[in-house]
Amino acid sequence: AEAGIRDPLWSRGLGDVYKRQRYLRNYLNSKFGNVVGDIIEWAPWVWRIELNEEKFIAAKYQPLALETRDVVSDVLVVEREVLEFLFDRACFVPRWLDCDKKTGFAFYEWVGDDTLDDYAQTDLSKTINIIPSVIESFRSIDKNLNKAVGKFESRVITNGRKSDLLSAWKIVTERAKWGAKALCRHLGIINPANNILSGLDDVCTGLSQREPRIGSSDFNARNIIVNRQRGPHFIEFAKLNWDWTDRRLVQYTTSMGSREKKGSMKVLLSKNNTDDISSVAALDAHQVVFLLNGAAALCSALDKGEKSFVKYFQRAEFYSLQRRLIMFAKALSEPISLDAKLCEIRSVFNIEKKEYIDE
């Protein structure tokens, strides 16, 4: 049952499923031609709509549209500007089509049915094979956006400045250290020595001194669409912030299986597909910090006796908490660079629990 208090579309007069479909059909008929197929809700607040000649459009409701209207970080204006800019430079992003500022809906070219997150859960080996293409597409987007920093830096969201990043990073650093100790405690591993925790401090300090770059603030594997004919496409550019390129890439390429009942974490970066990246040690370091922060969230929930992990891992239903912890340890034990300090940190989590791991 739909609850108006949870669904902002109710306040737009579109809370009812049939009202939404009628609105989308009427709007698109007036703009793009006849809607001939079903209007399918593909993901929360995202619909796939078939037009004449087997063309598909994506409709997305943007809940921040009214809140940010006419300010510099107006999400509809920002996404239109970014997508048109990147599309004109042959980056793999969807073509922007239109928006309705009255309702907060945006409309794009439909670029594929599967996210990288979904694809990794169904065929890991094929997903690993396309990671070089994902990296290439990401590099092109990053390069082009940062050639035009002057055009986009004023569009950065509240709390998305460089100073905000550094403030938040202090919390990330402490959480990573706590996560290392908590993961060891839950798995019965000898607590990491002080030099390991000190090493983590040094790693995080080094990462904080790298120059951040402008880009999407919403970087995860659900925002990459696997298009087998045209290559991986990146979506979600309504909000921009300053962050580190290597951190974005790590999180874009970690599948959490958030739409699968038995979803499992799949770390898609490895030595085999990152050997041509000059900053591979920074990439390796960001992966360690990200995984330790994820482990911290899970261990914290376990410590509190939580039965549901929706708060921490979206809507996935992980059927073995011990298996999940083992997966974090396994991912942490596999370095992607030869950096001595990172290898030493990762070696702490090198345990043999193959029976818990879904290969």
- Which tokens is 126 given? 């094929």
DSSP 8-state secondary structure symbol assigned to residue 45:
T
**What are 155-196's pLDDT values in tens digits?**
999 999 999 999 999 999 999 999 999 999 988 888 788 888
CA angle 178–344–279, rounded 5-degree value: 95
Average pLDDT over residues 222-242: 95
* Packed helices 340-347 and 280-303: angle between N→C axes, nearest 10 degrees: 20
Q: Taking a C-beta distance cutoff of 8 angstroms, is the pair 110, 94 a contact? A: yes
**What are 34-76's pLDDT values in tens digits?**
887 788 999 889 999 998 877 899 999 999 998 899 899 999 9
Q: Is the pLDDT of residue 359 over 90?
A: no
Question: Cα separation of 299 and 85, whole Å?
Answer: 42
Q: What share of the chain is helix, strand, coil (3-state, %, to 5)?
A: 50, 15, 35
What is the reported pLDDT for 357?
43
Q: What band does 12 get if pLDDT is binned at 50, 70 and 90?
A: low
Strands 233-234 and 213-216: unpaired
Question: Cα separation of 35 and 151, whole Å?
Answer: 36
What is the reported pLDDT for 275?
84
Strands 266-267 and 254-255: antiparallel
Cα-atom radius of gyration of the chain, to the nearest Å?
A: 21
- Which tokens is 172 given? 């990330």
What is the reported pLDDT for 9?
59
Question: Cα separation of 124 and 21, whole Å?
Answer: 35
Q: Please state the separation of Cα 173 from the chain's center in Å.
A: 20
